[in-house]
Amino acid sequence: MEINKRQYYSSLAMLGCLFFVFGLVSWVNSILVPYFKVACNLQSEVQGYLAQFAFYIAYLVMTIPASALLDRTGYKKGALIGLWILAAGAFLFVPAALTKTYNLFLLALFTMGTALAILQTVANPFVTIIGPIESAAKRISIVGICNKFAGILAPLIFSAVVIAPQKAIMTAIQSGELSGTALDTALSDLLHGVIGPYVVLGTLLFIFGIVFYRSSIQDINPSRNEQAFSEGRRSVFSYPYLVLGVLALFCHLGTQALSVNTIIGFADASGFERTAIFPSLTLACTLLGYLIGVVLIPKYISQQNMLRVVTSMILVLAVLVPLLPARQAVWCLVLMGIPNSVVYAGIWPLAIHDLGKWTNLGSAIMVMALCGSAIFPLVYAALADASGSLQFAYWLLVPAALYMIYYAYAGYRINNWRKI
């Protein structure tokens, strides 16, 4: 796709705004889990992590329909629809809070996940296609900075606006001081705290949808690209490096979700105070990693070699988390944000290149890998419940890291299934 320099930067800026939205909506889940556990009076780790599951499983269920929608609408109109669905999900928090219905909260999160399935399918291939494939990782790092900056802000804003004013109520509920009518009243007050912020969020998302649609960003539909690369390939699954890349991305996003979304509970059990800050610290490390990627890739190191370095770092930290004393292990999870930042940027262009007419569907399948953020925390919670140890459950990180190393060194090179 040929665009001039001015349009290139304006398109990248608009995509940066989209990735900021992704981060703002997605990373607040790290603090929603412990919040819902108190506010909805949940009794197990698995129940709490159903909030994560409902949000991220939408990527698995809805991404292929999202791809079909984009084939019909084009990317700009698809982004408008996605942002309006995202706003609808935010507005669903109102009846969920008023009725104190956890299942309705789960429906709201699933709706927001569906919207992001559409928006991720729009944004990721756009970032890859608007410039040379050799610098795709750098562009992904740039928009990733926007995503993680929003991710740093989201838990802090939610904590300041929703949790801090009601800290006394949460403490009273957790301590078991309240019962009967007093407990019901306290839970109602606690849940009502999300209404204002999510109404504001839904309104802003609705407006941003209009702004994006009316912007000068050029519409894109890669499915119309009939490059010769796709000749002789019967389906998108004829590209091993894509299929293996989807699994690598699944493992990466699962490990990233564990390092961010479970750290509050683990830090709390390890004796830390002010644990709500830990997701932001982890994402701050991720932001640092993105900045390193922007500087180094591809001028000083290729995206392939960088992927090998960071996946090896993740394996080392993954082994240390369950082995070290709990308080040191928490900091290993925080530091995992640095190498985790570059993995996404490294895998995506290696898995999506030269798909020709399959680019749109291939991108949609890649986005489906975000369901790793749903499945890994739920498996982690099940392991924690079964073993009675939050720290033991982090052994889940190790096989995921090993597979990412395999893809970084060998998997991305496989162009034919017969060569495996």
16-20, 135-139, 247-251: the lowest-pLDDT one? 135-139
To the nearest 10°, the Cα dihedral for 9, 14, 18, 19? 20
Residue pLDDT, tens place only, 38-74? 888 887 878 888 888 899 888 888 888 888 888 788 8
Confidence of residue 80 (pLDDT cuts 50, 70, 90): very high
Distance in angstroms (rounded) separating the CA atoms of residues 289 and 148:
10
In a domain, 405, yes or no: yes
* Overall number of domains in the chain: 1
Task: Domain of residue 98: give its range.
Answer: 5-217+234-419
Range 138-142 contact pairs with CB under 8 angstroms and sequence separation of 24 or more: 138/293, 138/294, 138/297, 138/298, 138/345, 139/12, 140/344, 140/345, 140/348, 140/349, 141/290, 141/291, 141/293, 141/294, 141/297, 141/341, 141/342, 141/345, 142/12, 142/16, 142/290, 142/294
Residue pLDDT, tens place only, 139-191? 777 887 888 788 778 878 888 888 888 888 888 887 778 778 888 888 888 88
pLDDT of residue 229: 46
pLDDT of residue 140: 76
In a domain, 224, yes or no: no
Q: What 8-state DSSP symbol labels residue 219?
A: P
In a domain, 78, yes or no: yes
Q: Tokens 């050799």 appear where?
A: 134
Q: 236 Cβ partners below 8 Å, 6+ apart?
A: 242, 355, 358, 361, 362, 365
pLDDT of residue 221: 57
pLDDT of residue 2: 52
77-86, 117-126, 327-336, 341-350: the lowest-pLDDT one? 117-126
40-44, 305-309, 339-343, 382-386: the lowest-pLDDT one? 40-44
pLDDT of residue 399: 97
Residue 76's CATH number: 1.20.1250.20
Distance in angstroms (rounded) separating the CA atoms of residues 402 and 211:
43
Structure tokens at 189: 């007050």
pLDDT of residue 134: 66
29 membership: H or E segment, kind and range: helix 29-39
In a domain, 225, yes or no: no
Q: How many CA atoms lie within 13 A of 274 on its CB side?
A: 5
pLDDT of residue 133: 65
In a domain, 197, yes or no: yes
Residue pLDDT, tens place only, 232-258? 567 888 899 999 999 999 999 999 989
pLDDT surpassing 70 at residue 227: no
Distance in angstroms (rounded) separating the CA atoms of residues 329 and 324:
6
Share of the chain above pLDDT 70, in %: 92
Distance in angstroms (rounded) separating the CA atoms of residues 375 and 373:
6
The C-alpha R_g of the chain, in whole angstroms, comes to: 21
In a domain, 384, yes or no: yes
In a domain, 207, yes or no: yes
Confidence of residue 395 (pLDDT cuts 50, 70, 90): very high
Q: First-to-last CA distance in the chain?
A: 33
Round the average pLDDT of the chain to a whole number and report it: 86
In a domain, 222, yes or no: no
Specify the pTM.
Answer: 0.75
